[in-house]
Structure 1
Amino acid sequence: MTLVPTFATPPGFLGLPLRDAGAIAIAGVPLDLGTTNRAGTRDGPAAIRRASRMLVDGSHPTTRVDPRALPLADVGDFTLALGDLQASLALIEQQAAQHEHLVALGGEHGISLPLLRALAKRVGGPLALVHFDAHLDTWPESFGQRFSHGQPFFHALEEGVVDPRRMIQIGIRSPVEPEIMDWTRSRGVTVLSALDVHDTSPAAVAAKVREVVGDAPAYLSFDIDALDPAFAPGTGTPEVGGLASWQMQAVLRRIGGLDFRGMDVVEVAPAYDVSEITALAAATVAWEYLCRAG
């Protein structure tokens, strides 16, 4: 690979050239039709790709994996239906089905539902889910709408594409109606609040993830607002009291070996970012995942 200054890294994720397919596909999903507060996540994929130039100077410091040596392809951005949320979700599912292992750069969190649908069909059954977020995203509706970035895991659980006994949510701390929390827990979902994470250690959190997921085929969904706004201000629904970026890294580095089949990192809204720190955090989530996958 030709060595260039960091600032001159090509615009694909980790400087990858755009091409149609790879064993692990990186795809942008620039959707923000279902956001309920600040819009702007349509610009997330481009910002994450640009920030990823900071991660091309060598291998991972602990796993010694250089993800650029993996069979990666940046396949560009998925096609969406302008102004039509339901049609966009259908298009996302169709395009995701074309890739065996997909790393999706969001976009709002609503993209997780079609990505999970496509992957569950591919593996032939429900998935385990490791979900980092400030919000449960298990509301049956938001402001009278059944599909937004607050519903993906309600539908995923109702449709059986996620096994609730194999689902763990990490970093939860937003205001929530008690019946929504009760419904989520009653299905068998494990919920770790941000305070739970702060009161224990990354090693303990990772051990709980391993206990819940077991050997099931798994999916990682990382909403960047799982991080405290001090570390990720560039998002549409920031919530104080979140995880620090080092906690995120420490947990992700301890869950290698799980049978992950895909992931997304979502809700980066660069118009509200400061010095690219949110976009860099999101790029680092994907990089840590790829280094673990290697």
Structure 2
Amino acid sequence: MNQLPDFDALQKSVKPDDFEADPLPGWAGVATLFGAPAAPMAQVSVGDDGWAVAGVPFDATASSRPGAAEGPRAVRQASLVFASYLNSLGEWRMLDTRSGDTFRYRGPQVADVGDLHIYPTDTIRTFKAVAAESRALSQAAPRLIFLNGDHSATFPTFAGFRSGRLDRGAGRVGFINIDHHFDFGNWSALHGPLYHGSNSRRISELPGMRPEDIAFVGVGDVTKYDQYRDLLDRGFHVVPGTAIRKEGAATALRSVVHHLGEHCDTVYVSLDIDVLDSAVATGTGHVTMGGIGTGALLDIYEQLRPLPVEAVDVAEVAPRYDPSGSTAQIAAHLLFNFLFRAECAESGLSPWTDPAAEQTWE
């Protein structure tokens, strides 16, 4: 008969420091983004190239399926699985076997300030609070991540970010909307002028914003023909999802990246998760047919790396419609790649291009 160990003796033989450096499993730990330290907004400090994270759990302008207010918490929870990657893989040169790219993981500082103030039954007060707090974050931190609820929240997070950058001397601020829709509506019978389908229009109306500094990437839904022609005639960039699928992200995005890189001091990138086909990402408020795939979305973000991207957001993750948790995992994985992957100094060396390594891939 097996004897039980003497737990009293065991616990006296160890101390908490013996376990402090061990990683936690992906479902454990404090649910901040990637397990980053929590910090009060007034005391956020992430160095010269770090990221401050804030959530906006607001979905009061949902028109079809509410639930995106639960997205920020779900993305944070999903991100914990990546928390130990930097310690375990950061010293190694890595190969992305999907693309053939080589890279290393880098570790910029990240601090999570929690959620900004929202008022579920008062959209205008919510937007005032979010814009003001986003501006303060933009003044205090070099780069920002917003975990937004429904896509309406991108209007105040962008407005606050832009104001903070203008306060710091920036000139032109670019905006990239990665979305199945243009979100260029003017008025909703349900919500008025501020709703999840008007955020891009409201952003374009901010004083000093130029159409040529705004890009719509991944669009694939039906839209009013006259509005579409007007966007093109005024100089907005439009990159349909079909162009990305047919030409590849590098070719489809070349002119956008060139223009924003030449003319903008900083760029804000907003992702509505419904740019992905609903067969891939079910956990969102709008069922998307004909959206892009996850590989194409990864490629889009890789093409954006040369830009001075200083703010990103993810919107419309609604976990109640995805019991598997995959949609939140996709959002977390995408953010992890964009933040922590860095090209190797010896770029261009991979089994795809390095003749010395060809034998290993036959």
Specify if TM > 0.5: yes
TM-score, normalised to structure 2, is 0.76
Q: CA deviation at 1:170?
A: 1.2
1:193 is displaced (CA, Å) by 1.3
> Contact 1:116 / 1:161 at 8 angstroms: preserved in 2?
no
Equivalent in the alignment of 2:121:
83
Question: Residue 256 of structure 1 contacts residue 292 of structure 1 at CA under 8 Å; is this kept in 2?
Answer: no
Query: Identity over aligned residues, as a percent?
Result: 27
Q: Which of residues 234, 254, 258 in structure 1 aligns to 2:283? A: 234
Matched, 1:122 2:145: no
1:193-216 per-residue CA deviation (whole Å, 9 max, x = no partner) reads 111111111221342331231241
C-alpha contact 2:105 2:342 (8 A) present in aligned 1 = no
Q: Distance in 1 between matches of 2:105 and 2:300?
A: 17
Contact 1:104–1:265 (Cα < 8 Å) also in 2: yes
Q: Of 163, 174, 182, which residue of structure 2 is paired with 1:136?
A: 182
In structure 2, relative to structure 1, the CA distance for the partners of 1:141 and 1:186 (3 Å cut) is farther
2:75 to 45, 48, 51: 48
Question: For 1:236-262, what per-residue CA distance to the aligned partner results, in whole angstroms no more than 9, with x for missing partners?
Answer: 112111111111112212321311121
- Alpha-carbon offset, residue 285 of structure 1: 2.6
Q: What is the letter of the counterpart of residue 73 of structure 1? A: A
Equivalents in 2 of 1:162, 1:134: separation in Å? 22
Give the letter for the 1:15 counterpart: G
- Residue 192 (structure 2) pairs with residue 171 (structure 1): no
- Any conservation in 1 of the 2:59–2:69 contact (CA below 8 Å)? yes
CA contact (8 A) 1:127 1:219 kept: yes
CA distance in 2, matches of 1:167, 1:293: 26
The structure with more radius of gyration: 2
Between the aligned partners of 2:287 and 2:256, the Cα distance in structure 1 is 24
8 Å contact kept, 1:256–1:293: no
Are 1:127 and 1:161, in contact at CA under 8 Å, matched by a contact in 2? Answer: no
Helix, strand or coil at the partner of 1:135 = coil
- Contact 2:108-2:340 at 8 Å conserved across structures: no
What are the Cα deviations for residues 2-60 of structure 1, in whole angstroms up to 9, with x where unaligned?
A: 42223324311111232121332111110101112111111000110111123234248
- What amino acid is aligned across from residue 236 of structure 1 in structure 2? G
Residue 268 of structure 1: aligned partner: 317
Gaps in structure 2 of 5+ consecutive residues:
1-20, 95-101, 344-362
Against the structure 1 CA distance between its residues 292 and 126, is the aligned structure 2 distance closer, same or farther, given a 3 Å change threshold? Answer: farther
1:265·1:285 contact (CA, 8 Å) conserved in 2? no
**1:161–1:143 Cα change, 3 Å:** farther
Q: Which moved more, 1:85-94 or 1:114-123?
A: 114-123
The verdict on how the C-alpha distance between 1:143 and 1:206 changes in structure 2, with shifts beyond 3 A counting, is same
Equivalent pairs counted in the alignment come to 292
Aligned partner of 1:183 among 221, 230, 253: 230
Listed one character per residue, the Cα deviations across residues 144-201 of structure 1 (whole Å, up to 9, x for unaligned) are 6111011111011122464321222111111212233233223211111111111111
